[in-house]
Amino acid sequence: MTKAARKFKRSLAAWGVLGLVCILLVLLVIQGTLWFNMPSKRRYPVRGVDVSHYQGKIDWPRIAEQDMRFAFIKATEGSSLVDDCFAENWEQARAAGLYTGAYHFFSFDSAAETQADLFCATVPVEADAMPPVIDLEFYRSDNLPAVETVQKNLRILVNRLQTQYGKQPIIYTTNACWETYLQDMDLDYTLWIRSIFTPPSSSLTPAWTFWQYNPRGKLDGYVGDETFIDLNAYRGTWEEFQMEFGI
Q: Which listed residue (137, 179, 226, 244) is catalytic?
A: 137
Q: Which long-range contacts (CB under 8 A, 24 or more apart) does 177-185 make?
A: 177/136, 177/137, 177/138, 178/204, 180/144, 180/147, 181/136, 181/147, 181/150, 181/151, 181/154, 182/136, 185/151, 185/154
From 206, 131, 130, 208, select the one nearest 163 (Cα to Cα): 131
Hey, is 62 helix, strand or coil? Answer: helix
Based on the residue annotation, tell me whether 137 is a catalytic residue of this protein. Answer: yes
Q: Which residues contact 143 (CB under 8 A, 6 or more apart)?
A: none
In angstroms, the CA 167 to CA 129 distance is: 10
Residues labelled catalytic: 137
